[in-house]
Amino acid sequence: MSGALLSPIRLRNGLVARNRVWLAPLTNQQSEADGVCSPAEQRWLERRAEGGFGVVETCAAHIAPDGQGFDGQLGVWGDHQLPRLRELAAGIARAGAIGLVQLYHGGVRSPSRLTGRRPWSASSFTEARPEFEVPRAADVRDIEAAIDAFEQAARRTAAAGFHGVELHGAHGYLFGQFLSSTMNQRTDEWGGSFANRARLIRTVARRVRAATPAGFLVGARISPEDFGYARGLDLDESLQLAAWLAEDGVDFLHVSLWDTTRNTAKRPDQHPIPLFRAALPADVPLVVAGNIWTPADAELQLERGADFVALGKVAILNPDWPLRAADPSYQPERGPLTPAQLHDLAISPTFVDYLRRFKTIVRDA
């Protein structure tokens, strides 16, 4: 290994990450019904900070009650959530990691069973899924309220003592619905051209940047092309979005690739990492995620042009991955593990139940 993976990196606001290893934002359903961070969720994240991760990021945290997408989801929309957010931020920092909150609104993927109201999105559309609820098209008041809510959530995150936020524009949530050429059929300033479809996430990025201290990190996560719930995306538009977001003041761009071994769909002979690195200024770090398992896998992404690697499933099973990655013979646990074994890794029974959908992670005793 070249050693870059475990070397410190200074971000342009002066913060220094102790290495290039990032805990990806992972749904865990461990928060309280009112969005308050639970001790179990705090322990899960602190344990990864203690395990040496340079950056520790929360799950997608909803910025308004009508934006909740999951049971037990972390919230940053109310001051009643601040005391526990402060404890979480302090615990991550105490262990030496940079702590980030991922800010998000589910849009059409905020079911009425959780929010008590019909979901809304860029436009009204249908999908062939049994649980799908046809959203109402947002009016300007919805859009303005969401922009304000993102700004207030970022202010609250800064007040809690976190080092920064990430705007979740990946995986087909609200930002992705506006970016989509298929889900966004609007004819006003929020739809049509890509400049209009990108207006929501860009407006929020600028508002959040202006509302938070200069030393507070503001980043964004995007999907480069169609995958799963992310639809109506074009690679070249995503590269343009990367450049625009850098102009808007983001401190990093996080690209969710799902599988870093694959080239792009639009340009099968090209890997996405060099394309996104070239689209960004040199001082805006590129974070990539997608089936990175071993230190060698991670180093390869750095060689391609990434500045950080975000780990998901492997971080669940290996909380000390960064501490152990210096050993050339290190072979991370691949699972599946029993609930008792996962409990020893600071995974609560609630999180274990959620993870049962991934047969490679949980097995019965």
Task: Express each pLDDT in 53-104 by its tens digit.
Answer: 999 999 999 999 999 999 999 999 999 999 999 999 999 999 999 999 999 9
pLDDT of the residue at 1: 43
pLDDT of the residue at 328: 86
Share of the chain above pLDDT 90, in %: 98
Helices (H), the chain: 39-50, 82-94, 112-115, 140-160, 174-179, 194-197, 199-211, 235-247, 272-279, 295-304, 313-317, 321-324, 339-343, 349-355
Which one-letter amino acid corresponds to residue 36? V
State the DSSP code for 362. B
Please state, rounded to an integer, the average pLDDT across all residues of the chain.
Answer: 97
In terms of Cα–Cα distance, which of 237, 213, 217 is closest to 225? 237
Dist CA 63 CA 182 (whole Å): 25
Task: Express each pLDDT in 304-339 by its tens digit.
Answer: 999 999 999 999 999 999 999 999 899 999 999 999
Q: How far is CA 14 from CA 17, 160, 204, 217, 251, in A?
A: 10, 20, 23, 10, 11
Q: What angle do CA 194, 26, 45 make, to 5 degrees?
A: 130
Question: Model confidence at 3, in pLDDT bands (50, 70, 90)?
Answer: confident
Contact 271, 263 (CB under 8 A): yes
Task: Express each pLDDT in 343-358 by its tens digit.
Answer: 999 999 999 999 999 9
Measured from the Cβ of residue 29, the count of other Cβ atoms closer than 10 Å reads 19
Question: Mean of the pLDDT values across residues 227-253?
Answer: 98
Dist CA 218 CA 220 (whole Å): 7
pLDDT of the residue at 249: 98
Share of the chain above pLDDT 70, in %: 99
Domains of the chain: 4-334 (3.20.20.70)
pLDDT of the residue at 248: 98
Region at 254 (left for phi over 0; alpha for psi -120 to 50; beta for the rest):
beta
Provide the residue count of the chain: 365
Task: Express each pLDDT in 174-227 by its tens digit.
Answer: 999 999 999 999 999 999 999 999 999 999 999 999 999 999 999 999 999 999
Helices (H), 280-362: 295-304, 313-317, 321-324, 339-343, 349-355
